[in-house]
Amino acid sequence: MAAASTSKKSQASAGPAAAMSEAMQVVEELRRFAEEISGMRAEIAQLKASELATERLPAAGRQLGQITETTEAAANAIMEAVEEMLQADAADSAAYKALVSNKAMAIFEACAFQDVTGQLIKRVSETIFQIESRITRIADRIETTAFPEMPLTTRQQRERELLLNGPQAKAEAIAQDEIDALLADFN
């Protein structure tokens, strides 16, 4: 009886202390949580999402479009020059030589596209690098497990099913003679 009375007393005295300790823990958790949120806010502010959306990404899109146009124009200029050389009458050797010389210069001029596209590609690469590094910093703080795996879009699903991988990096691509060997194995 006496022992039971002592136990009840100690529970009664431990109750408020335990509750206080738990409350302190919750407060500490909330404080750390607030710190995390504050840090993430700073990271998100550094993302400069509005600048990315209104300036950098549209600029990168325009630059990629410009690359396509520039390379297409160069390819067409080169092919036009070559077609004219192939169709030229070589009977008049002086005139033929002058034409070939003229068209060769046109080809050299068209090859200047590489300088322009090189610069544009460099700018797009810089934008992608900036986006990647900022997102990586945020992902590191949040923990990647916080992001559930996104379902594939219809386009991604189609690309996966039809193997629409596009041009491969050298390490992943196989050469024509390897392709020939692969086809020969089937035969």
> In this chain, which stretch among 55-63, 110-118, 136-144, 161-169 interacts with other proteins, using CB under 8 A?
161-169
Nearest to 142 by CA among 35, 38, 28, 40: 40
Query: What phi, psi does 102 have (nearest 5°)?
Result: -60, -45
In DSSP notation, 86-131 reads HHS--SSHHHHHHHHHHHHHHHHHHTTHHHHHHHHHHHHHHHHHHH
- Report, in Å, the least distance between residue 75 CB and other proteins: 4
Binding mask 1-40 for other proteins (x = CB under 8 A): ----------------------------------------
Decide: helix, strand or coil at residue 165. coil
Q: How far is residue 96's CA from residue 66's CA, in Å, rounded to a whole number?
A: 35
Q: How far is residue 99's CA from residue 81's CA, in Å, rounded to a whole number?
A: 9
Binding mask 60-99 for other proteins (x = CB under 8 A): ------------x--xx--x--xx--x-------------
Binding mask 165-184 for other proteins (x = CB under 8 A): xxxx---xxxxx-xx--xx-
> Does position 154 bind other proteins by CB under 8 A?
no
Q: Which is nearer to other proteins, 151 or 167 (CB)?
A: 167
Q: Which is nearer to other proteins, 91 or 175 (CB)?
A: 175
- Write the burial class of residue 81 (CB in 10 Å: 0-12 exposed, 13-18 middle, 19+ buried): buried
Q: Which is nearer to other proteins, 86 or 150 (CB)?
A: 86
The contact set with other proteins (CB under 8 A) reads: 72, 75-76, 79, 82-83, 86, 162-168, 172-176, 178-179, 182-183, 186
